[in-house]
Amino acid sequence: MVSFAGLLNAKGMAEEAVKRAEEALEICKNHFPNDLSKLESTHNILGMAQMSFGELEASLENLKTAAKFCEDLKDSSGNLVSHYFNLLQAYSRTDQNEQAEIYGRKILEMAGKGTNWIGWTLEDLEPVFVCMNKQKEFEQLKTTYI
């Protein structure tokens, strides 16, 4: 059911994706309450669907929960960078620029030079730094990672 919700979201059916992901989360909580990996994935898919649908505050809560589960799992597959990137985007969309900066910096520290994560993160961080009147600091950051 989680994969189906992700597919709906990718197809631009965010409202239906939110509904399906909420159902999946309830099932997951009831049947797999101790499986952090399943809970992480389900919260992430729900958060992404909510972000697509414009439910930004609810999205933030689910994306933070997914990242927390991933941190608890000490994930080394790159999922944590992905969760942090989702949080960077959600925080920037809610004009919580300080939080967006924190997650952007975490990504830059974790991702290796030359990876797509660096470029994507810098691209999303630039307007955040502009809003905070920190263009010079952004240019220094950019120079460090490119």
pLDDT tens digit sequence for 74-120: 876 678 999 999 999 999 999 999 999 999 999 999 987 778 999 99
Residue 17 phi, psi dihedral angles, 5° rounding = -60, -40
pLDDT tens digit sequence for 1-13: 445 555 555 556 7
140: its two tokens? 């220094």
Cα separation of 68 and 62, whole Å?
10
Q: Give the start-to-end residue ranges of the domains of the chain.
A: 1-75, 84-146
Query: Which has the closest alpha carbon to 15: 43, 51, 64, 40?
Result: 51
94: its two tokens? 């809610």
Cα separation of 3 and 114, whole Å?
30
Any idea which residue has 């997951």 for tokens? Answer: 28
pTM for the predicted model, two decimal places? 0.86
Q: What does CATH list as the number for 1-75?
A: 1.25.40
pLDDT tens digit sequence for 4-56: 555 555 556 778 888 888 999 999 999 999 998 899 999 999 999 899 889 99
